[in-house]
Amino acid sequence: MSGKTCSTFGAVRTSEKQAMLLLHLCVFIWGFTAILGNLITLRETVLVWYRMGITSLSLLFLPAFWRGIRTIRKQDAWRIASVGIMVSVHWVTFYGAIKYANVSVALTCLATVSFFTSLLEPLFFKSRHRFTEILFGLAVIPALYMVFRFTGSYATGMIMGVFSAFLAAVFTILNKRLTVSYDPFSITFLELATGFVFLGLLMPVYLQWFPGTPLLPSGADIGYLLILSLVCTTLPFILSLISLRHISAFTANLTINLEPVYGILLAMLFFHEQDELQPGFYLGAGIILVIVFLHAYIRYRQKKKQLVV
């Protein structure tokens, strides 16, 4: 989610403590997206198609969207649309990781986004790689191997999860440039709407690859999809924009990194995944999460030193 705020909330007065609680609530809600993805019986591509369609439709009811959409130039609209296709593939592979493995494996893989970002960002912005970034990136590899070693039957899901994290890093970097110039609501709508159309056009091919795939959700799936799209996507997006006005980028990033932690704990609660995963998996996952938070802290210290100099 973008750290840019919308003028709609300019009048909102929120203390730093309230903002922190609000952001933690958002991250906790985001942790439920993986839980709902596991509960929904639709295949990953159909699930994401519905999620993108419902969420983009809900954004049309926000006044901020209509003000911001008029300012987007046609050239940039095509760039945003291309990012939207990437977002759709990211979500498909993320929910594919859940379907082919489980919530804990998918979220552990997703936790590597920050390392892909730190390794790829200098390539996009033509800057030098820092030694610490490379060191942390290398440190993740043995931890990922440990996860893979103790989840051998989930190899397909884990590969999809790592690829999903890679895509998330790429579109996060691309969105950094876009959110400087345009309203995040408008960008999000264009990305989700493009992803919805893209998956819709691919659906006939997908159905040939996976014949018999159901397109119509069950009654329970409809409820879960509405919660996933409105409560776990649109609502926290709006609330996070409010909270990010009042806290530092470091605090925000550190808090958002808690999403895999919340998600794994929720998976234990709802699906008892600890019964199907060996202790070695949690050791590898724990190492990855420790590296994620340590990496965020060191980046914060480095930026602080640069400001002092």
| Local confidence band at 195 (pLDDT 50, 70, 90 cut-offs) | very high
Residues 6+ apart with CB under 8 A from 230: 54, 55, 58
Planar angle of CA 88, 89, 94, nearest 5 degrees: 100
State mean pLDDT over 28-38.
95
State mean pLDDT over 124-145.
80
Q: How far apart are CA 164 and CA 136, in angstroms?
A: 19
| DSSP type of residue 128 | P
| Local confidence band at 1 (pLDDT 50, 70, 90 cut-offs) | very low
Residue 165 CA neighbour count, 13 Å, CB half: 24
pLDDT exceeds cutoff 80 at 2: no
| Local confidence band at 211 (pLDDT 50, 70, 90 cut-offs) | very high
| Local confidence band at 127 (pLDDT 50, 70, 90 cut-offs) | confident
State mean pLDDT over 121-150.
81
pLDDT exceeds cutoff 90 at 94: yes
164 CB-contact burial (10 Å; exposed 0-12 / middle 13-18 / buried 19+): buried
Least confident of 83-87, 241-245, 291-295: 241-245
| Local confidence band at 9 (pLDDT 50, 70, 90 cut-offs) | very low
Residue 281 CA neighbour count, 13 Å, CB half: 24
pLDDT exceeds cutoff 90 at 206: yes
Q: For the chain, what is the mean pLDDT?
A: 86
Q: For residue 179, what are the CA distances in angstroms to 27, 55, 172, 295?
A: 21, 19, 10, 24
Q: Are 252 and 3 in contact (CB under 8 A)?
A: yes
pLDDT exceeds cutoff 60 at 126: yes
Q: Are 147 and 291 in contact (CB under 8 A)?
A: no
Provide the H-helix boundaries in the chain: 16-39, 44-59, 63-69, 74-100, 103-110, 113-125, 131-149, 155-181, 184-209, 219-226, 235-243, 249-256, 259-271, 279-308
What is the model's pLDDT at position 257? Answer: 80
Give the residue with greater pLDDT, 95 vs 133.
Answer: 95
Token pair 């914060």 is found at 300
Give the residue with greater pLDDT, 250 vs 217.
Answer: 217
Q: For residue 98, what are the CA distances in angstroms to 39, 43, 151?
A: 10, 10, 13
| Local confidence band at 250 (pLDDT 50, 70, 90 cut-offs) | low
pLDDT exceeds cutoff 90 at 4: no
Please choose, from the candidates 85, 160, 173, the residue with its C-alpha nearest in 3D space to the C-alpha of residue 127: 173
State mean pLDDT over 53-78.
89
What is the model's pLDDT at position 57? Answer: 95
Could you tell me the residue ranges of all domains in the chain?
7-308
Provide the H-helix boundaries in 244-278: 249-256, 259-271
Q: Are 245 and 54 in contact (CB under 8 A)?
A: no
What is the model's pLDDT at position 205? Answer: 95
Least confident of 46-50, 210-214, 241-245: 241-245
Q: How far apart are CA 219 and CA 53, in angstroms?
A: 18
pLDDT exceeds cutoff 80 at 277: yes
What is the model's pLDDT at position 202? Answer: 96
Residues 6+ apart with CB under 8 A from 293: 254, 257
Q: How far apart are CA 268 and CA 153, in angstroms?
A: 19
**Is 0.75 topped by the overall pTM?**
yes
Residue 94 one-letter amino acid: F
| Local confidence band at 14 (pLDDT 50, 70, 90 cut-offs) | low
| Local confidence band at 306 (pLDDT 50, 70, 90 cut-offs) | low
Q: How many CB atoms lie within 10 A of CB 219?
A: 7
In this structure, the chain runs to a length of: 309
